[in-house]
Amino acid sequence: MADKNTRIKALAKKTFEALSTEFPESACSLETDCPQNLAIRGILSAQCTDKRVNITARQLFEKFPDMESIANQDPEVIADIIKPCGLTSSKTKSVIAFAKKMTGEWGGVIPNDVDALMEVPGIGRKIANLIVGEVYGTPAVVVDTHCKRVMKRIGITDGDDPAKVEKDIMKAFPEDQWINIGHLSVDLGRKYCKAQSPSCDICPLSSFCGRRI
């Protein structure tokens, strides 16, 4: 077991170095103008592209620029705006529930607490980790479909369950890399390590990726 852990940590070190060189400006692809707006973008991002979320969220915040106006809005009005992001009914309830938390229990301040954030319907561990990482710099790993896929291919994890993948990443990478490795994984997944027809021949990890060895 010790040898395996040592090997995986060495693999993680190579991975982080290669990805940081390839994507030196890697960052969250959701717009991060303010904490509460980021959280709503996170809710809207389920089964939707970040590009579409950013466009739709801008339209939402142009009409309703604060949490009070969203919390007290007719759900049908919110639903009509966010419809392009899909899962309209559940996302509408989640957006309004979050706005009510912000204007009520939380007193306008997002908690730096994953469990508290997950009390809002529509905010799972992935989005909660995103929020505390981006807003507070709290070390947290965001395991999305890209991250799960590339980490398994590289050999950092052998799991498919996001919770296991998150734990394996946390064991492999130093705490101060947890936030960035999530962003870097997304960049890798979009540019090279695609679900279908990955570009292994030109990938910056090709010399040591588990998929190629």
pLDDT tens sequence across 106-152: 999 999 999 999 999 999 999 999 999 999 999 999 999 999 999 99
Q: What superfamily in CATH does domain 35-124 come from?
A: Hypothetical protein; domain 2 (1.10.340.30)
Question: In the chain, which segments carry CATH 1.10.1670.10?
Answer: 2-27+141-202
pLDDT tens sequence across 72-119: 999 999 999 999 999 999 999 999 999 999 999 999 999 999 999 999
Per-chain mean pLDDT for the chain: 96
**Cα–Cα distance between 150 and 85 in angstroms, integer?**
25
Question: In the chain, which segments carry CATH 1.10.340.30?
Answer: 35-124
The whole-number average pLDDT for the span 56-76 is: 97
Q: What is the pLDDT of residue 1?
A: 60
The whole-number average pLDDT for the span 194-205 is: 95
**Cα–Cα distance between 171 and 98 in angstroms, integer?**
32
CATH number of 2-27+141-202: 1.10.1670.10
User: In 3D, which of 17, 15, 42 has the Cα closest to residue 28?
Assistant: 42
* Count of positions (residues) in the chain: 213
